Amino acid sequence: MNERNSAGGQRDWANQRAFIEAHAGDRIALVVDSFHRLVGTPLVSDQGDLRENLWTLPSVVVVHATEDDPVFFYANRAALSLFEASAQDFVRMPSRFSAEPVERSERARFMAQVLQENIITNYRGIRISRTGRRFAIERAIVWNLVDEAGLIHGQAATFAECTPLST
C-alpha cells in the first residue's frame, strides 16, 4: 500500500487520524456498535481506546452517510492506504467513486440490497483507488449503521482481502 503523500514524503498519520476522527465524531461509536449488533461479534477489541483500535485495524473500514449521493465520512488507516487518498480527499468523495464507472450501477443495486437486509456478508466487488489502481475486494461485510432505535445513519464496509487487478 502507498505510504507516501503526493509530495513524496511519509504520510503524517497522526494528522490524518485527527482529521478523520474530528470529521466522523460520535458516528465512530455507531460504526462499531451497529456492527456488533448486526454481526454478533465485535469489529474491534473492547480493550483500550475504541478510536485507536478502529484506526489501526488491519482490515479496511469505510463508512458513508445517508445523503442522496452518499459521501464517505470515515476511513481507517488501512482504507486510506488502499484507496491512496488523504483523509481530506476521502471525506469529500462520494462513495460511488470508489467503483469504476462501469461498476457503479451494480454497486448501487448492491447498496440498495444492504439497505433492505441490514447486512450482507461475503461480498465481492471491483474498486478503484484515487490514482486509478484497480483491485477486487473479497469477503467484505457491508452493513447499515443502525442505532438502538432502528434508525439508519449510513452504511459501512470492512474487508481484509483484496487482489490487485491489471489496468
Confirm whether pTM is higher than 0.75: yes
Residue 127: partners with Cβ closer than 8 Å, 6 or more residues away? 83, 98, 99, 103, 134, 135, 136, 137, 162
pLDDT at 1: 42
At 10, the pLDDT band (50, 70, 90 cuts) reads: low
Q: Which three cell numbers stand for residue 116?
A: 433492505
Q: Looking at residues 86-107, what average pLDDT do you find?
A: 91
Domains of the chain with CATH codes: 13-119+142-160 (3.30.450)
Q: Looking at residues 70-89, what average pLDDT do you find?
A: 97
Per-residue burial over 74-96, b = 16 or more CB atoms within 10 Å of its CB, e = otherwise:
bbbbbbbbbbbbbbeebbebebb
pLDDT at residue 104 is higher than 90: no
